[in-house]
Chains A and B, each alone.
Chain A
Amino acid sequence: MESVGAFVIGGYIGPLAIIVLAVLPAAVVAGVARRLLRVSLLLTLPIAISVVLVSVFTRAGSTVLFQIGPFDATLEGVDFAGQTLVRLLAISTSIGLFGLTTEPRSFVLDLERRGLSPRFAFVAAATLEAVPAMVERAGVIASAQRARGLDTEGSLRARLRGVLPLAGPVVVSSLTEVEERSLALEVRAFGRPGRRHLLWRIADTRAQVAVRILMLTLLGAAIVMRLTGTFPALP
């Protein structure tokens, strides 16, 4: 929710307020503050470097700070980079907080309990397993290819030659399993219309409901303030 807020609010104060007032206290309560900061900073770092380089040197502006080759560093560029950075950090810490405090599988189950169709719940839950499984499969095929002397490092040509024979078998072998798995699911009454009785129920305390309503209200307020011009627009 905070991340949506961060998309809406430009400037410095808004995103910083989100990080300091909403995300960090929640993370401290949940006991994941240190991990959250580490994960978000690591994930944001490569993109942050790109943002700084690209916007500092390429943003047209009147105040030139210094030059490197054909590139001018401008004050406006620095300002833009700063604003983009705090916004990115707000987005990434809030999504990171969600990721660290919510077990993905229970999130999907809760969505189904709240009315998500079992078919879509299946897609979300199966994806959780399919992605690591495919990485594993790719790893197995990659080591098999390396054993046959294919290169996965080195020049672009070498990498191309290494990656394409890797991608093909991974994709085709996963696809051929689709047929039997869908039959096996149909045998177990998958796709039967009507609701299912789920085995687990996820606790939803009054405090959680209250916090959710508060955050939705704040988000609404933020959107209104943005539209009326209290918060600055995106650069």
Chain B
Amino acid sequence: MSLLRRPVREICGAAIAGAVLVASACSGGDIMRGGGGSGEEGPLVVDGEQIADAKLYGAAQEEGSLTLYTALSTTRELAIDAAFEKDTGLTINMVRLPGGRLYSRVVSEHKSGKLRADVIRQTDRGLADSYLEEGVWQPYCAPFLEKVEEKLKGPDCNFWASQTPFYALGYNTELVKESEAPRTWDDLLDPQWKGKIGMAYIGAGGSTWARDLFLRKEKGLEYWKRLAAQKPVITGSAGSVTELNARGEVPVAVVLPGTQLLAKDEGAPLAVTLPEDGLPSYAQWLGLTAEASNPNAAKVFLNWSASRTGQTAVAAVGDYPVRSDAPGPKVAGVQFPARDEVNLIDAESWDDYASKREQWMDQWLNVFGYTPKEGEEEGG
């Protein structure tokens, strides 16, 4: 029971999603509902792909809406959901919480048999796997999944990645010339950036752990130490790094390009470079819950998410679509290369992602001064 519940639809007007909406609306293509828009009877076809047959779509329309639990940033989730609502006429009740707390809530609700979510979207393979152990998921093979790499799919269609956001480097164009902007991870170690780098804290989520695991594995502990010696400004989330970068508090930063370019679109003096030595990426895992009370609407959402139009909506918020035949992200007029043309690093599929997590995160906290350096007393 909630005192206030509104469909995401109303948010369409909100400018927060404006820029993205324009992009996704324009690329939405032709929608054919119920055999020509007449309503009940008929399949749902968008952009030449059948998203739901007449039976599923009819049942979904009966349900009318679905409940989505998500840890994706509000801005991006709303933009994607608005595109879905426009394409399908179904509504989404969105509940958004930060990843760790969303996990607690899902597990707790599930154990008491009161899980309200029909669909869950969240980062971190570790959490998706433990949902599997707890029996939160319900296997459902959406069409088009054959166009998705195996490592982006969980076992037996229980869950799969709808998109892979990624980290790159950003800079403030008022403070840094394009020719001087860092283009590799090693460039960040240049003495000129001392005290001028912004980055999110390692525990901000599975995403930041994937980023730092990549750096630790590819470049060694020494890289962490040298980066820490650069005295970066650490933030609680990837989004606030972009904010610091926009205000110039940090001239260069480790950023999510989508967030960075959406801010650029609003007038911030920002730009992005894609480091050639690797773009650490991570998955947003999506799946149907075992207790879904709107299973048909939920299935339409999952089908749509894997469809061309759904993947286009994902690209419009700056994340990489997972389908091999989808173009790269396109935000604020910037078109990124397709998935297979860039060096995306999927650290989440490495064994160390789970096995080294606790130990290396503690090490990171120590190296970056969150805990006193070994051998040092607590200071005053």
- A pairs with B: no
